[in-house]
């Protein structure tokens, strides 16, 4: 059984929009997989169906042998979400909190409600958060407020927060779309490095072909909620990809 | 006009319709005449029928009566303690209201209320009840339940203020940025942690500003609560009025005015600091 197994995931929003029309996906424990597709192709919905921020209409998701979609208890679902670090296009930081507090938010799932209420984090968590800031290159900024940072630095905070969850899987939603290309590559470099160092598989949605080719082992193409491509990055020639991507664009 | 368009051809163009002309004339002049008649009736009733001009006497007499309220300096030491008590009633009433208003706000914000709409409607009813009841009503209820003194005053102001604070706070909660909340949920945080880390940092400058504004209003309310026995300076005022000690009553009025103006100056300064972020690293309210 693969590390992450998605079987026949469908999602129909209350508006009637069919975002996913039965997607299958398997991922191994050491893989970095790109989800390629245009906006509206269902990439974000698929990522959110895995940690059930969006409840799939039907289908199953298994992570490391546990059926995520079968969890009924909210508490169990929360501890499952904790194992999946999510990184967002718009970073989703709390602007008024410091960088360190934003990073510490990553261990809210490990911390009791009373400790959260009084912001009394465990000493080792604070130390780990500072260490994590160092790993993402923010050691000089961790006391600053999150809204005082530049875009690239803000995404680093988002990465540190996800890393702080000690995740078994990274779900990355368009990490570079709000950044300029150079900074975007730095962010992709950082995420690949962390993913390799901590042996965390990564499912990353992108719409930039170049990034997908440069940083991932496998490319999965989505178009209108249907999987249209699934093959090793090295097996796909640039031309074919370009072709598929253009048919995607034309649709 | 619209409904006529379907009822066949007209005998004459709309502009020249004599019926319509008459209606326009009534609208222009008839309505104004009606308002004028009603206003003069009210004026007549209040200033001719209901006012005892004879007893009022001449202008000189009015001024000399009003002058009897000239503050008595010797009474100042006596009002210091009740004024401080008034301040404390306003303060603790606001603290109490804030403590209760926060959960009520959480329950009556559409995006955080659990089991929508059951708890939501419960929260909204508390807000309506609190806002639509005068503080004197609450004070009378608590005075009869707990006896005279500042405690019923504190409770009265507390119950009176829950509505405003909960309503404004719930509106701020409904308008928070959803993105950080999504991120908190993705970390596996429970709803209370999500509130503490995702929502509270976004809302607190506005909420603190509203609490200070409420404290300012409660200072005025606390100044008269004593008239129904709920502690504070109001009791001294009604006591002096009943004893025809006009000068002492004047001193009380002056004392209240000084206290309220000082309170307003201080609270304005704090709120401006909060909003503009002077002295802190805050960028202020978006």
pLDDT of residue A245: 61
Provide the b/e sequence for A124-157 (b: ≥16 CB within 10 Å).
ebeebbbebbebbebeebbebbbeebebbbbbbb
Q: How far apart are CA A217 and CA B136, in angstroms?
A: 73
pLDDT of residue B2: 45
**Contact criterion met (CB < 8 Å) for A105 and B189:** yes
pLDDT of residue A242: 64
- Give the one of A75, A94, A108 whose C-beta lies nearest to B202's C-beta: A94
**Contact criterion met (CB < 8 Å) for A106 and B187:** yes
Neighbours of B66 (CB within 10 A): 11
Q: Which of B176, B177, B179, B188 to mutate to test the interface with A (most CBs of A within 10 A)?
A: B188
How do residues B180-208 score in pLDDT, each as one tens digit?
A: 999 999 999 988 899 999 999 999 889 99
- Name the pLDDT band for A116 (thresholds 50, 70, 90): confident
Which of the residue ranges B11-15, B66-70, B99-103 would you say has the lowest mean pLDDT?
A: B11-15
Residue B137 backbone dihedrals phi, psi, to 5 degrees: -65, -50
B14 pLDDT more than 70 = no
Which residue, among B78, B218, B214, has the nearest Cα to B153 in the 3D structure?
B218
Angle CA A105–A109–A110, to nearest 5: 100
**3-state SS, residue A40:** coil
To which H or E segment does residue A134 belong?
helix A123-135
Which residue, among B169, B187, B276, has the nearest Cα to A93 in the 3D structure?
B187
pLDDT of residue A138: 92
A37 pLDDT more than 70 = yes
pLDDT of residue A246: 62
Sign of CA dihedral A97, A102, A104, A108: positive
Q: How far apart are CA A119 and CA B192, in angstroms?
A: 12
Residue B187 touches chain A, beta carbons under 8 Å: yes
* Nearest-by-CA chain B residue for A50: B186
What's the mean per-residue pLDDT of chain B?
A: 87
pTM value is: 0.78
Q: Are B268 and B278 in contact (CB under 8 A)?
A: no
Q: How far apart are CA B13 and CA A179, in angstroms?
A: 65
**Contact criterion met (CB < 8 Å) for B187 and A94:** no
Sign of CA dihedral B136, B142, B147, B150: negative
Average pLDDT over residues B72-77: 91
ipTM of model over 0.85: yes
Q: Which of A90, A93, A105 to mutate to test the interface with B (most CBs of B within 10 A)?
A: A105
Q: Where are the alpha helices (DSSP H) in chain B?
A: 18-25, 31-44, 53-56, 59-67, 76-107, 118-132, 135-146, 150-174, 178-186, 191-194, 200-225, 233-242, 246-276
- Name the pLDDT band for A205 (thresholds 50, 70, 90): very high
B3 pLDDT more than 50 = no
Q: How far apart are CA A3 and CA B28, in angstroms?
A: 81
Q: How far apart are CA B92 and CA B90, in angstroms?
A: 6
Residue B115 touches chain A, beta carbons under 8 Å: no
pLDDT of residue B13: 55
């Amino acid at each position: 059984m693969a590390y992450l197994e998605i079987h026949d995931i469908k999602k129909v929003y209350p508006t009637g929009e069919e975002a996913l029309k039965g997607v299958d996906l398997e991922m191994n424990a050491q893989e970095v997989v790109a989800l390629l597709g245009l906006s509206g192709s269902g990439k974000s919905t698929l990522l959110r169906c895995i940690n059930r921020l969006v409840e799939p209409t039907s289908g199953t998701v298994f992570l490391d042998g546990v059926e995520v979609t079968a969890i009924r208890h909210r508490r169990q679902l929360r501890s499952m979400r904790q194992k999946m670090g999510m990184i967002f296009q718009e970073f989703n930081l709390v602007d008024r909190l410091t960088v360190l507090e934003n990073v510490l938010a990553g261990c809210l799932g490990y911390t009791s409600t009373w400790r959260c209420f009084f912001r009394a984090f465990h000493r080792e968590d604070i130390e780990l958060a500072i260490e994590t800031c160092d790993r993402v290159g923010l050691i000089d900024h961790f006391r600053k407020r999150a809204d005082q940072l530049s875009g690239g630095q803000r995404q680093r905070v988002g990465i540190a927060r996800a890393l702080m969850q000690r995740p078994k899987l990274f779900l990355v939603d368009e990490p570079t779309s709000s950044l300029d290309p150079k900074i975007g590559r730095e962010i992709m470099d950082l995420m690949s490095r962390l993913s390799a160092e901590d042996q965390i598989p990564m499912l990353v949605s992108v719409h930039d072909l170049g990034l997908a080719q440069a940083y991932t082992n496998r490319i999965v193409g989505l178009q209108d909620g249907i999987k249209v491509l699934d093959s090793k990055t090295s097996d796909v020639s640039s031309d074919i990809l370009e072709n598929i991507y253009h048919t995607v664009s034309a649709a | 006009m619209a409904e006529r368009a379907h009822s066949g051809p007209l005998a004459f163009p709309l502009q020249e319709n004599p019926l319509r002309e008459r209606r326009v004339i009534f609208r222009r002049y008839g309505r104004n005449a009606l308002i004028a008649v009603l206003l003069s009736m009210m004026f007549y009733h209040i200033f001719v029928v209901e006012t005892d001009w004879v007893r009022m006497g001449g202008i000189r007499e009015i001024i000399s009566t009003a002058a009897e309220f000239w503050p008595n300096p010797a009474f100042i030491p006596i009002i210091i303690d009740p004024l401080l008590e008034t301040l404390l009633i306003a303060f603790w009433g606001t603290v109490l209201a804030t403590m209760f208003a926060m959960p009520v706000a959480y329950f009556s914000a559409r995006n955080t209320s659990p089991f929508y709409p059951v708890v939501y409607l419960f929260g909204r009813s508390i807000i309506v009840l609190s806002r639509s009841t005068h503080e004197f009503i609450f004070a009378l209820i608590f005075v009869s339940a707990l006896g005279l003194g500042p405690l019923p005053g504190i409770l009265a102001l507390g119950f009176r203020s829950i509505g405003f604070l909960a309503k404004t706070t719930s509106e701020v909660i409904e308008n928070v940025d959803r993105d950080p909340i999504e991120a908190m949920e993705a970390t596996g945080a429970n709803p209370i942690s999500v509130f503490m880390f995702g929502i509270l940092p976004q809302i607190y400058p506005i909420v603190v500003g509203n609490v200070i504004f409420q404290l300012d209003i409660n200072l005025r309310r606390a100044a008269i609560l004593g008239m129904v026995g709920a502690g504070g300076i109001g009791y001294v005022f009604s006591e002096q009025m009943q004893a025809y000690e006009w000068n002492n009553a004047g001193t009380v009025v002056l004392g209240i005015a000084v206290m309220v103006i000082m309170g307003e100056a201080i609270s304005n300064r704090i709120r401006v600091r909060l909003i503009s972020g002077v002295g802190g690293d805050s960028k202020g309210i978006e």
